[in-house]
A and B are shown apart, each in its own frame.
Chain A
Amino acid sequence: MSGVVQGGWGFVAAAYLVTAAVLGGYATSVFLRWRSERSRAATEAGRDTTT
């Protein structure tokens, strides 16, 4: 035994994939919420001017 952790690329790949999934997922959710709130605000502004 050399005292060095052998292999481990599976764990490295898992850590980077989890990072990409969490950050990518959260970024997507923020963009979707931003788009939906913006269109809702535009709809409400349009309704206000017609009443």
Chain B
Amino acid sequence: MTKTSAQSRTPQALIAAGIALLLAGSFWGLFKAPGEIFMGDVQRIMYVHVPTAWNAMLALTFAFVCAVAFLLTNAWKWDNRLEAAMEMGVVLSLLLCMQGAIWAKPTWGVWWDWDPRLTTTAVMVFAFGGILALRNAVDDPVKRAVWSSVACIVAFADVPIVYFSVKWWNSLHQAQSTPESVSKAFHWPLRINALGILFLWTGLVALRARVAALRLRSEIAPPLPERPRAAADAPAPGGAS
């Protein structure tokens, strides 16, 4: 007997693999990798901050793909995935801002600065967070799916701006981390954590999409058949007429 997609345990396996990789990568980054020449041990925040940034953008890019796919196909599975991916993207972006603030304090001297990278990231969080709020406020599943798909496509315009902001404008934030700009000693913990967060969010998005699918099924399910007319009109036993 084959398992249906709703019964498959692939998401749980992805989540477990993600957690294992994150633990291994974090251990390596915290205790095995050398400190950085200027930032010392504070630079170890990079092993969670940079993979979070990559994966936040990846999750929101997947949300954009789902939005386009829904508008092209009208298949509900894309709307379920859109809801899941946007929620995951907002969680990762919020986490990104928190990690960045913790790293900024000892290196920049402030928790937050309205620099182009940070400002565009804040816009990204509020834009996608607003779309999730919009989804909760709309009862009609069709309107909700179409509006949030269109809104997601519009909001996605900010994602490449976040990525290129450090190149386009004079930013306090450092440029993108690439294999050329990061020492070889830092590569492995960075890659392992990036893969760990990738596995974790893909598993969580798959599971969250199932939640959205079950809710949608109960929303669009036909109402229960009415009781026979005679039975419905009969006075309740012992009730006053």
The residues of A with any CB-CB pair to B shorter than 8 Å are: 3-9, 11-12, 14-16, 18-19, 22-23, 26-27, 30-31, 33-34, 37-38, 40-41, 44, 47-48, 51
Contact = CB atoms under 8 A, between A and B. Distances in A.
A18 B98 contact: yes
B30 A16 contact: yes
Contacts of A9: 41
A12 B45 contact: yes
A8 B208 CA distance: 36
B215 interface: yes
B37 interface: yes
B238 interface: no
A30 B207 contact: yes
Contacts of B165: none
A34 B39 contact: no
Interface string B207-230: 110110011011001001100000
A16 B46 CA distance: 10
A42 to B, nearest CB: 10
Contacts of B30: 12, 16
Contacts of B15: 27
Interface residues of B, number: 40
Given A30-B204, A41-B214, A44-B218, A5 B44 contact: no
5 contacts: A5-B107, A8-B41, A15-B45, A30-B207, A51-B225
Contacts of B52: 19
B10 to A, nearest CB: 13
B106 A5 contact: yes
B207 to A, nearest CB: 5
Contacts of B95: 18-19, 22-23
Most buried by B among A4, A7, A38: A4
B48 interface: yes
B26 A4 contact: no
Most buried by A among B15, B30, B38, B95: B95
B46 to A, nearest CB: 9
A27 B40 CA distance: 32
B102 A18 contact: yes
Given A8-B106, A15-B45, A23-B91, 9 more contacts: A4-B38, A5-B39, A11-B105, A12-B42, A19-B52, A30-B204, A34-B208, A47-B224, A51-B225
Contacts of B105: 11
B200 interface: yes
A19 B42 CA distance: 15
Contact of A26 (B38, B49, B91, B225): B91
B211 A30 contact: yes
The 3 closest A-B pairs by CB, nearest first: A8-B42, A37-B214, A15-B45
